[in-house]
Structure 1
Amino acid sequence: MAKLEIILGSVRPGRIGLPIAQWMEQEARTHGGFSEVELVDLAEVNLPFFDEPHHPRQRKYVHEHTRRWSAKVDEADAFIMVTPEYNYGVSAVLKNALDFLSEEWNYKAVGFVSYGGVSAGTRAVQMTKQIVTTLRMVPVLDAVSVPWAMEMIEDGRFVANDVATGAAKAMLDELLKTDGHLSGLRQKKN
C-alpha cells in the first residue's frame, strides 16, 4: 500500500487552510486505501526562498533543509495539495516547495483541495497543474473545491458538507488507482 502526504500550501497567520487540511487528513485515514497518511505543513517545513546553487535535477543539495525536504517528498507515493488562491494563482510558498526539488516528485499522483471565495481556489489549481505536470506528476481529475470556505469554519474546525465529503472520497479513490499505475514507473527509474 502507498503513503499519502497532504501538503498544506499556506503559511499565513490565521489561515483557514489548516483546519481544511486536518479535515482532509481525517478523510484520507477514514478512506483506508493508503498505508500511511501524513499532513505536511509548509509552515513547519519552513523552507527559505529557493537557495540551492545547483539545479534540483542534479540532487546536489548543499543545505540541510533541502535534504530534509527531499527525503520527505521522496518517501511519499501520492500527494494532496491543500491550496488557497492568491491573486488568481498559486501561493508563493507552495510554488517554492515544488521548485526546490525535481526527481523526487516524478511519477507520483497528486490531487487538490482548494478553497477561497466564489472561485474556490480553482484558478490556483489550474496554475499548479501546469507546474506539477512539468515535474512528471500526474494530477487526478477529481478534486475538492470549497467556495466561501470561511463560512464552513466553526470553532476552528472545517465542517464539510456532503459535496466536499463526496468529492474527497472520489479524489482519494482516483489517487489510489493512479498510484497503482505509476508505482511501476517509479521503480523503473531507479
Structure 2
Amino acid sequence: MSIDSTPHASALGAANQAGSFQSFPDDMLGDNRSLPRLLAVRNPGGSSISLPVDPFQSYGRMRMTLYESAPGLTVMSDLLPGKMDGVYCRSTDTILIDRRITLTKKRCALVHELVHRWYGDDGDGQYSAWQESRCRLETARLMVRLDEYADAERMYEGDVFLIAAELDRTVQVIQDFQRLLREGATRTLLTFDDTNVLR
C-alpha cells in the first residue's frame, strides 16, 4: 500500500503532497524494503547540531556520557513546578530534569535542554516562543529517524500515541517531527551508502 492510499491523514502523506518527497525506482531501493516507496529527499532528521551525547542512548547512558563529554555541565534531578519536565540555566551550565517523569520523558527532556544549551539560550526556563519552537523542532530532528518513523506510522495507521510508544519518544517529539514533515522544513538530502541502504 502506498503512503497516499492509507486511510489516515499521515504526516508522510502530507509531506508527499507538499512536495517534500521524490519517487525512486525500485532498483535504487536495494533490499531496504522497510521504507515506503516514496523517500524523503530532504531529511527532517538532518540536524546540524552536535550534542555531547547520542540522543538514541538510554537516559542513564546519556547522563554517564555527559560526565566525560561535558565536564562543565551539571545535570540533576529535582521536583520542578507545574508541567515543566526540564530546564537549562546558562549562567550555571546546569540542567534540571523533573524526577517524577518517566524515563522516556527524561531522555527527551534532556535532549531538549541540551539543544537549548547548544544554542546558548538563557532564560532559566522562560524562553521566547521562537526559541522554544526552534528547540522542539531540533529535538525532533535529533531523536527521530525517518525510516523508523515511516515504519511505525504505517504499522499504527498514523496513531501518534502508538507511534510514540513504538519509538520510545514522547508524543510531543512525534508531533514536532510530524510538523517538520508537513511543513517540509527540511534541507539535508538523504544519502545512500554503496549498498543502497539509507543512512
Using the size of structure 1 for normalisation, the TM-score is 0.26
Which has the bigger relative contact order, CA under 8 A and spacing at least 6? Answer: 2
Using the size of structure 2 for normalisation, the TM-score is 0.26
The structure with the larger Rg is: 2
